[in-house]
Amino acid sequence: MVAAGRGERIGGDVPKQYQLIGGVPMVLRALRPFTSHPDVGHVVLVLPSPDASHPPGFLSDLSALSVVAGGRHRGDSVRAGLAALRPECTVVLVHDAARPFVEREVIDAVMRYARAGEGAVPAVPLSDTLKEATAADATLIRRTRPRARLWRAQTPQGFPRAVLEEAHARAARTGHRGTDDASLVEAMGVPVRLVPDSCRNLKVTTPDDLALAELLAAKSP
């Protein structure tokens, strides 16, 4: 569980991962589907270094949870989490703490592919028309891009542990930073599958996202 960023775009005095959604800290909402899952043996939460030294008290009741300090970039944080994972965990799911509404069915589907030796990414087909702007003027349309076969990637992304560790080791050696873990695994030629997901599994990035998350929390059982 990656939660080491600052989340500056959301604003406010409270770091994004600790913002309340329906009265529950965002990171706690994101953790619960994994800490309560019968097939999850260990959860590593990656926090900013000061918070990792003194974790929030609301984490104390979660079982099979370890907290470690993240790095400067997302890839550094994922590598820190992998290093802290118990040796017996041979399948790894990487989830963003900013996605507090992942569903059990999606977790299960990602696990199935990872156990079979492939990568898996929850995703939603693009439904909007895509416009590409010119390089000289970001407000001027250059062309309309076809959206067929395009998906919006989400998390948790799942992989055989050895595959993900090798992908991150290669990225560290070359200085490459992908926008997600799947892109690093794809670069190795390992098959990565798409798992149809829901728009409810949104990533909270802006104040508008947080307001939408409050509405979703109010409708959740």
Please, which residues have CB within 8 angstroms of residue 64's CB and are 6 or more apart in sequence? 35, 40, 41, 42, 43
Q: Is the residue at 70 inside a domain?
A: yes
Q: Is the residue at 218 inside a domain?
A: no
pLDDT (tens place) for every residue of the chain, 221 residues total: 999 876 666 767 888 999 999 999 999 999 999 999 999 999 999 999 999 999 999 999 898 999 999 998 999 999 999 999 999 999 999 999 999 999 999 999 999 999 999 999 999 999 999 999 999 999 999 999 999 999 999 999 999 999 999 999 999 998 888 889 999 999 999 999 999 999 999 999 999 999 999 999 998 76
pLDDT of residue 51: 94
Q: Is the residue at 3 inside a domain?
A: no
CATH number of the domain to which 158 belongs: 3.90.550.10
- Would you say the pTM of this structure is higher than 0.85? yes
pLDDT of residue 9: 65
Q: Is the residue at 96 inside a domain?
A: yes
Q: Is the residue at 69 inside a domain?
A: yes
pLDDT of residue 61: 87
DSSP string, 33-76: HHHT-TT---EEEEE-HHHHHS--GGGTT-TTEEEEE--SSHHH
Task: Provide the 3-class DSSP secondary structure of residue 142.
Answer: strand
pLDDT of residue 221: 63
Say how many domains are in the chain: 1
Angstrom CA distances, 156 to 74, 145, 153, stand at: 14, 27, 10
Q: Is the residue at 220 inside a domain?
A: no
Q: Is the residue at 176 inside a domain?
A: yes
**Spatial separation of the C-alpha atoms in residues 9 and 42, rounded to whole Å:** 31
Quote the domain boundaries for residue 200. Answer: 8-213
Q: Give the pair of three-digit tokens for residue 2.
A: 């990656």
pLDDT of residue 164: 98
pLDDT of residue 20: 96
pLDDT of residue 7: 60
Q: Is the residue at 1 inside a domain?
A: no
